[in-house]
Structure 1
Amino acid sequence: MLTGKKLAMTLIAAAGLSLSTQSASADKMYGPGVTDTSIKIGNTMPYSGPAAAYGTIGKASAAYFAKINAEGGINGRKIEFISLDDGYSPPKTKEQTRKLVEQEGVLLMYEGLGTPTNSAVHAYLNHKKVPQLFVATGATKWGQPDKFPWTMGWQPSYQTEGKLFARYVLDNVKDAKIGILYQNDDYGKDYVHGMKDELGDMADKLIVAEESYEVTDPTINSQIIKLKDSGANVFFNVATPKFAAQAIKKVRELEWYPVFLNNSVSNSVGAVYKPAGLENSKDIISLQYYMDPTAPETQETEAYKKWAAWMKEYYPEGDMLNTFNVYGYLNAQTLVQVLKQAGDNLTRENIMKEAANLDFEIDMFLPGVKIKTSATDFYPIEGMMPVKFDGQRPVPIGEVVSLDK
């Protein structure tokens, strides 16, 4: 039995403990989907449909989060990654996103794949003030913090890439006549807009033909025939993996040998060049910002060995030649950095604040490439390197460049 002085000391200690507990609790600020032990993250990905080749990105990111969870999570919290198939269909993306936000109660949406699909939920997520982070698309509109403060891209913008390709043509191709194949949506049009912007007054003279395709088209053969017949000696291929592989096959079948420029979203040995034929893909020029896992010099680096060990342990069924598995690995690390910086303030508002306060490098980026954002700069990556496929792997043919260089 406690009496007098002992009882008073016990009550004081209890009060102190209570205040301490309340203070510690007050330091924690949680948004939807967050507890002391978990953080719920939402994602849509085309595991089926015309862009299913990209599905491995979602699987790679899930595998990286599994690694983080196995190591104890982030500040003691495990990532609960809920990734749903949208088939690269905007109506399905709307349905799945609403399910994740309104039923699953995720803290944020992360790495949704595709320009048309993300466009379908762009306004909705900003209206609901749900972070739409590091979308797997380079559309320029993902970097408009004044208009859409809850959306941020990740990879270099398509317009930036289109401008860099235009510079390559101006610097390296004499008497260029450019033919363009592009997907008929914001993704494809962004690339074309970027190229035309950089060509400036010469655009109308240098671009001799443009052909578009729909994602529902079975093939793009007729478009390739028209582009060849235009007399183009430069072919700018703005297509997702399925159609990029078709384009490569058809170009070679027609015995057409233009300077072949391939957008980075389809610069993959495993997902595009192998299906199209390695010999058919020889001499294709692209741009990249992270290491190619098929390159012998990459495989000698500590960064690659670390990535390969992770693949073997956490994603053993994944293709070691597929660059999209590097993409998912790198993108996931960017989100992990944001969550680490957020600490115990895991509100949606603070997530966006930390996403706009990044400055770091990641293993498997090319030298000179880094993640850097600010409150007015929602484009995390802006440098790229020109490469040419030699029949086995992309080989560098220049330094990392950006529009300010």
Structure 2
Amino acid sequence: MEIRRNLLRLLAVLFAFAMVAAACGSSDDDDSSSSSSGSASATAEDHGDDDHSEEEEEDTGGTLSQDAVEKAVSGEGSDDAAEEEAASDCPQDRSTVEGIFAEADCNRDAIIAMITEKMEAGEWGVNSDNHLIGPAGMEVDLNACPADWDDKAGLTDDQIRFGQTTVQSGNLAAYGNLSLGMQIWFDYIDSLDVLSGRDIEFIIKDDGYVAAQTIEYVDELIESANVHLLQGLGSPNGLAVYDKINEECIPHPFYLSGHPAWGDPELHPWTTSYQMSYSTEAVLWGTWIKVNLADDLPVKVAGLVMDNDFGLAYEMGFEAYAEQNPDVVAEYLPVRHDPAAPTLTNEVTTIAAFDPDVFISMTAGNPCLLAIQEVEASGLYDRLSAAFTPSVCKGIAAYLAPAGMAADGYWIV
């Protein structure tokens, strides 16, 4: 009975993490370039019919429709959200870091209590058909898992093994700091002894943002390290392994990417993201342009695109927006660059010759800094009505401060 109670507690904690993550951002993605194309076309369909139901919007992998984004930006429905937030029993002092953490702790405890209650009542959890039932209609058929599948793999009396593939070297090495932060947080959790006497063993593998290396490390983490769950970073990397991870029925939560493919509860129910869909971000760029450059519409937009699944998700997301909103975007020019390119001079020269009104950086890692520097050096920045750097490059120390005043005035949604 004690083991069952501990497992219920652990599953409740994981459910709570998932629900908190869903509240903070959307999930996403698909397969290679073809999956990006599928995501973009799905987004375009959403844009073409603003009356689509919320259920239909979810089919795009967590991408919000243009109508939903514009309502959010305009503040429509914000009063209801404020009333719902005010109804919480948790303290709300957001003037200090301590107050913010106290509210988060309270909300987390409330979610865990709610989930635990539903699981103990038999509403959520594994039912008599061996289906895992959860919130919002979540249902996973455990009968489809491998014959030797064990839901307690990587879970012992004193340890939980988490595996992660990420990038700690190369052009995107700055994202390795996310793993350091996670390790510090797990150490803190261990110090509280809240996992029924278990400590978290966090096994980090640096794949250098190379998908082939990700495949090798995921095999190692599954077959040798026997991890309880896997987590990773990078759209190309996730797309290379999420089929196998889902076939093995290994939890693959909070993937560090906003590719629209991660929102696939039917074919890839074990994979979730924790951040906003890149397709939604593309709609937000367009909505900002529509609202803030109203007197200049329609405008010419150029995008500097990392030439991989990550960058193509941005490119095709904004392309779908542009096609559906010719009154906002007159012309759209995406210019792709090699992810490992040491400079972006040629690409920015091409963009400058296009003479856009708006520049959008659709890249990641060190190329975000290079893009800002090259746009300023080319003289293009002074001619722009607006310039954006992506949400994945909002780190001030890594991507903005090194550019100095060249980064002044860039927008991030």
Q: Secondary structure at the residue paired with 2:407?
A: coil
**Structure 1 residues 203, 265: closer, same or farther in 2, change over 3 A?**
farther
Indicate yes or no: 2:412 matched with 1:286.
Answer: yes
Alignment of 1:52-201 (within 5 A): 52-110=173-231, 112-173=232-293, 174-175=296-297, 176-201=299-324
Q: 1: CA distance between counterparts of 2:169 and 2:198?
A: 31
Alignment of 1:325-404 (within 5 A): none
Q: 2: CA distance between counterparts of 1:206 and 1:96?
A: 45
Q: TM-score, normalised by structure 1?
A: 0.62
Q: Secondary structure at the residue paired with 2:402?
A: helix
Q: 2: CA distance between counterparts of 1:166 and 1:26?
A: 50
**Superimposed CA distance per residue, residues 107-149 of structure 1 (whole angstroms, 9 cap, x where no aligned partner):** 0102x11111111111111111111110110000011111211
How far apart are 1:200 and its partner, in Å?
Answer: 3.5
Which ranges in structure 1 are unaligned for 5 or more consecutive residues?
A: 1-22, 288-405
* Contact 2:315/2:334 (<8 A) preserved: no
Q: 1: CA distance between counterparts of 2:179 and 2:162?
A: 12
1:32 — aligned with what?
A: 153
How far apart are 1:25 and its partner, in Å?
Answer: 4.4
Q: TM-score, normalised by structure 2?
A: 0.61
Amino acid at match of 2:389: N
The equivalent position to 1:255 in structure 2, one of 379, 390, 393, is: 379
Amino acid at match of 2:239: S
C-alpha RMSD of the superposition: 1.7
How far apart are 1:186 and its partner, in Å?
Answer: 2.0
How far apart are 1:261 and its partner, in Å?
Answer: 1.0
Q: 2: CA distance between counterparts of 1:127 and 1:207?
A: 43
Q: 1: CA distance between counterparts of 2:275 and 2:326?
A: 26
Q: 1: CA distance between counterparts of 2:180 and 2:275?
A: 18
Indicate yes or no: 2:211 matched with 1:211.
Answer: no
Indicate yes or no: 2:357 matched with 1:227.
Answer: no
* Contact 1:167/1:198 (<8 A) preserved: no
Structure with higher Rg: it is 1
* Contact 1:32/1:106 (<8 A) preserved: yes
* Contact 1:196/1:203 (<8 A) preserved: no
Q: 2: CA distance between counterparts of 1:25 and 1:139?
A: 37
Amino acid at match of 1:177: K
* Contact 2:164/2:204 (<8 A) preserved: yes
**Superimposed CA distance per residue, residues 196-221 of structure 1 (whole angstroms, 9 cap, x where no aligned partner):** 33334345952342101121222221
The equivalent position to 1:270 in structure 2, one of 397, 407, 410, is: 397
* Contact 1:73/1:79 (<8 A) preserved: no
The equivalent position to 1:243 in structure 2, one of 353, 367, 392, is: 367
Q: 2: CA distance between counterparts of 1:46 and 1:96?
A: 12
**Superimposed CA distance per residue, residues 344-401 of structure 1 (whole angstroms, 9 cap, x where no aligned partner):** xxxxxxxxxxxxxxxxxxxxxxxxxxxxxxxxxxxxxxxxxxxxxxxxxxxxxxxxxx
Q: Secondary structure at the residue paired with 2:220?
A: helix
Q: 2: CA distance between counterparts of 1:280 and 1:27?
A: 56
2:104 — aligned with what?
A: none
Q: 1: CA distance between counterparts of 2:2 and 2:259?
A: 42
